[in-house]
A and B are shown apart, each in its own frame.
Chain A
């Protein structure tokens, strides 16, 4: 009989992943780190028009691009004369499950269906669970969602409870776990028990599914302004959102658009800590995922992660929790749009950045997410306050994750903080070199790392 203890299941990790993906990763595993990324993405046998057709049939995509005229006016009021770029937002909340994640789920499950799987499994506490459950429902596929929900006292924060409820409403079986990275063990056990497809966020399908989002932005911006956007800002966690959007932008010809990632700063809170778990007021789009995934993408439930942000990201900005809650309020009050806070991380970044850019330039915030019980700032912050977190007005800079949330006392407080991209890039290069056999750091590896980090070949060579 197959052993199901922790060590035995983890030892079978490679085999379980391979049989549950319907993708042959072997050609990409010859070297410990180097592989042909475009060949990996080439495993998706559809061009972008075909992906859009598949998504159209699934009710996904073609969301509105809305100009945020009032927020732009507010930015211009604060900015030096002649500054204040126009801000637009892609209203991804209009997708079937209420977020852009429907795009990733739609293509992944199309692939699962064609590969003959009877069901799908996903490990996520985020909007992706509802997206997979929703797309599974449309295709008559069984769906299991494995979620990290509760601390050891059985308390779950409103946003995560809501995400579990959404999965249930679409007919998924939801395995609700307490805090711990061994969620992966439970996930592998479900894959083994069911023989279902691993609807990972990080397969080439899950990334190619985001490309139409970037493509649509370019089409809609050309209609609205006559040209491509100067800046597109993506909320960054695991990297698929930014990677897929950037690839779509390029495919639509937006070669000069600056691509910026934005995360909420949760520095100091440990992702695997039972006591920190309910002290994070954002459950995604934060530095707990964003920084490690940017610097080292291959830490996921697939052998090679197709989401690789350093290949595309030009800047990486951090926002405070209070700043994002503030902009969520501003979006409702000035634009009449009630949307979930996590999607507004890049909106807060756009608001600050707009004030540094010329008034004839443009910024696209590339997503919103649905709002509802559990997802509002009121739900998350009331929960936080009842658990002893101070909610104060003041200077965003004084926010300490896990202790307080500082709602800016004036909109001019909102500002962006650059993550040192050079450091992230260099640390990736050094890690790859350390993993490579001595004497194998030739031109191929230099080329791979130059593409992987957008560094110049000479700079990579110098580091090696």
Chain B
């Protein structure tokens, strides 16, 4: 995928390689790098996913990193209903229907 200057993009950087991470970390965390993702406006004229580019963030700060996405989706949503919770809700509503209201 080709991305052009002016696109809203996301870049990726390795902040610390595993060997640069503190020894006090749990093994599974220390086995992987510390990664950074930042979004901004692409400055580099033309780039493919995976190429190094420059961006300008919303604060006008220039940053360099690997292009990983063009206008990435937020992706999070409401999920699916949780039947166990729906049932719990139904139960308390039914309980209250049978409970007299106070003054």
Contact = CB atoms under 8 A, between A and B. Distances in A.
Interface of A: 5-6, 70, 73-74, 77, 119, 142-144, 149-150, 152, 156, 158, 161-162, 165, 168, 171-182, 185-186, 193-194, 270, 272-275, 325-326, 329-330, 332-334, 373-374, 376-383, 385, 391-393, 407-408, 410-411
Contacts of A381: 79, 82, 85
Interface in B57-103: 57-59, 61, 74-82, 84-89, 91-93, 95-96, 99, 101-102
A382 B28 CA distance: 25
Given A73-B99, A176-B36, A275 B28 contact: yes
Interface of B: 15-16, 20-22, 25-26, 28-29, 31-40, 57-59, 61, 74-82, 84-89, 91-93, 95-96, 99, 101-102
Contact of B96 (A74, A165, A326): A74
B72 to A, nearest CB: 11
B89 A329 contact: yes
A304 B31 CA distance: 33
Contacts, number: 158
A382 B21 contact: no
Contact of A186 (B15, B21, B74, B80): B15
A161 B74 contact: yes
B71 to A, nearest CB: 12
A288 to B, nearest CB: 13
A334 B32 contact: no
B99 to A, nearest CB: 5
Nearest to B12: A154
Nearest to B32: A152
Contacts of A172: 58
Nearest to A70: B96
B89 A332 contact: yes
Contacts of B15: 177, 182, 185-186
A143 B81 CA distance: 35
Given A73-B101, A274-B28, A378 B57 contact: no
A379 B78 contact: yes
B84 A273 contact: no
A392 B74 CA distance: 29
Contacts of A6: 16, 20
B85 A325 contact: yes
Of listed B31, B36, B76, B101, residue having the most chain A CB within 10 A = B76
A174 B38 contact: yes
Given A330-B89, A373-B76, A391 B82 contact: yes
Nearest to A142: B59
